Amino acid sequence: MQIDERIRRARPDDVPAIVELVYALAEYEREPDACRLTATQLDTALFGPTPAVFAHVAEHDGEIVGCALWFLNFSTWRGVHGIYLEDLFVRPEQRGSGLGKALLTALAQECVKHGYERLEWSVLDWNTPAIDFYVALGARPQSEWTTFRLTDDALTALGS
């Protein structure tokens, strides 16, 4: 299994740079005001007593220029875990350098190493550059599924 030396697991001192990348992703996805992530929240999620999120970073000339944040999911039909990729982002000036593919390769390697049978993520319908990139890697859209989400007042009303 060949490892791309530009990609590595995130460390605690990477948290501020990863938060910056998440905010850049929110800007790219046309939702800058929706992002409320703090460094404290991310540090706890990644490195607290019970980590629930994991991350890989991409480096160029000693600077973090990309990241993949992910967590484990579980397929009841397959009976094994998989990886859900929450965020994948590479700074625009580094796109086309292979870092996006290298980040996805690192996650595929995690799947193979641990016997996980799925690597899944969502992409916005209008993001055709990303869609084309994913399809070129062999990923296939799951068009028969519709994502639902409860947040804010609706979540509070149902949970109260």
Catalytic residue from among 23, 28, 84, 134: 134
Q: Are strands 7-9 and 80-90 parallel, antiparallel or unpaired?
A: unpaired
Task: Convert 51-86 to b/e letters by CB count within 10 Å (16 or more is b).
Answer: eebbbbbbbeeeebbbbbbbeeeeeeeeeebbbbbe
Paired residues of 85 in beta bridges: 70, 121
Examine the residue annotation and report whether 28 is marked as an active-site residue of this protein: no
By annotation, the residues acting in catalysis are 134
